[in-house]
Amino acid sequence: MTTAHIKRTALYDQHVALGARLIPFGGFNMPVQYGGILKEHDAVRHRAGLFDLSHMGQFILKGENVPQWAEELTVNAVSTMKPMQARYNIFCNDRGGAHDDVIFYRLPDRWLLVVNASNAEKMWNHLNVHVGGSGVKLTSLHGHNALIAIQGPKSVEMMKGVTDCELGDLKYYFCTEGAVYGKRAVIARTGYTGEDGFELFLDGADASEVWQRLLREKEADGLEPAGLGARDVLRLEAGMPLYGHELTEEISPVAAGLQWAVKFAKPEFIGKEALEEQARGDRYPRIAGIVMDGKVPAREGYSVFLDGAVAGEIRSGSVAPSLGGKNIATALVGKEAAVPGTRLQVEVRGSRHGATVAEQPFYKRPK
């Protein structure tokens, strides 16, 4: 994608004003960091961070047949969702690989489907290929609607007086419709950091005022803008997959450790047969979490060894501030190399360094 074709979210000018370092991501110019990844990570883990996620694809689905139609395209249940509930789901291909991992929101008169920015065009085409004759009407809000996330242990407190809703009573993975600073919004208790928090779906025209007021009025409480760099570290610590790394068109939900989201009891869905065969055989390469010895970082693509033989490769890696600065990673490895406690080696610039397979998630927030 050429520079001329990279889009801007509704909050682009805010990021420039805050001195953010911007990078192309998912077709948009996005802030990777403001004051520094470790500083922003600390804000989210101990206070709260504010993220611009307006690059994510947002699709509206309408029609009585949405639940039944979506059941056949996804691995998790859709028709059992309660009003105002959110649910994680995955669209698979015939081989069981993942087209994308998504979240469905069941609203009173419509469904909101949020897809990864890098897959927005692919998913829009996929939905339209399968929509014929279903009676489902699709509308894309991608690039028009905004999405702001406030994440961290103080997020509930910070949202008091900001909305006309009592968000403290809102259950995890549920949403409500209300106003934020008088601007209409869908407010969901969802997130991608391992912390409590909310995601605010707004009209793009309203996003700048909400963003500015939250930062200005909650700065004294410790709210800071946070970029994609901190978000990636936070989600890795929390054991959450990133599409293109722990999930791909080749890496299935079963291989990614997401079998809890695959409802094999559903009559039929795309990829079911391949996933059942994979789960039954139990010989597939799978995602494992590893902790490196010492300070050597593991990076995507590095080879992983078990007893001197290649066992797989690193898929994501980062320093983990929540684990005292240890270097953590995910790796796609064979079954024997994925057992917690197993000693592995990772090849870093021609030298092999020790690592240990760890239980995921690496980090769980205190209750």
Mean pLDDT of the chain: 97
| % pLDDT > 90, the chain | 98
Predicted local confidence at residue 362, as pLDDT? 98
Q: Is pLDDT of 316 > 70?
A: yes
Chain-centroid distance, C-alpha 296: 26
Closest CA to 77 of 204, 263, 232, 234: 263
Q: Which of 237, 272, 301 lies at the terminal end of a domain, its last residue?
A: 237
CB 298, CB 327: distance < 8 Å = yes
Indicate whether 204 and 305 sit together in one domain.
no
Predicted local confidence at residue 367, as pLDDT? 81
What is the rounded average pLDDT of the residues 50-69? Answer: 98
Q: In this structure, is residue 68 part of a structural domain?
A: no
- Residue range 277-289, pLDDT digits in tens: 999 999 999 999 9
Indicate whether 11 and 159 sit together in one domain.
yes
Predicted local confidence at residue 3, as pLDDT? 54
**The domain containing residue 308 runs over which residues?**
285-358
Q: In this structure, is residue 221 part of a structural domain?
A: yes
| % pLDDT > 70, the chain | 99
Predicted local confidence at residue 181, as pLDDT? 98
Predicted local confidence at residue 5, as pLDDT? 84
Distance CA 311, CA 56 (A): 34
Indicate whether 51 and 167 sit together in one domain.
yes
CB 78, CB 269: distance < 8 Å = no
Indicate whether 290 and 228 sit together in one domain.
no
Predicted local confidence at residue 4, as pLDDT? 56
Predicted local confidence at residue 138, as pLDDT? 98
- Residue range 204-263, pLDDT digits in tens: 999 999 999 999 999 999 999 999 999 999 999 999 999 999 999 999 999 999 999 999
Predicted local confidence at residue 1, as pLDDT? 46
Number of domains in the chain: 2
Indicate whether 206 and 330 sit together in one domain.
no
- Residue range 85-110, pLDDT digits in tens: 999 999 999 999 999 999 999 999 99
Indicate whether 49 and 147 sit together in one domain.
yes
Q: In this structure, is residue 175 part of a structural domain?
A: yes
Q: In this structure, is residue 264 part of a structural domain?
A: no
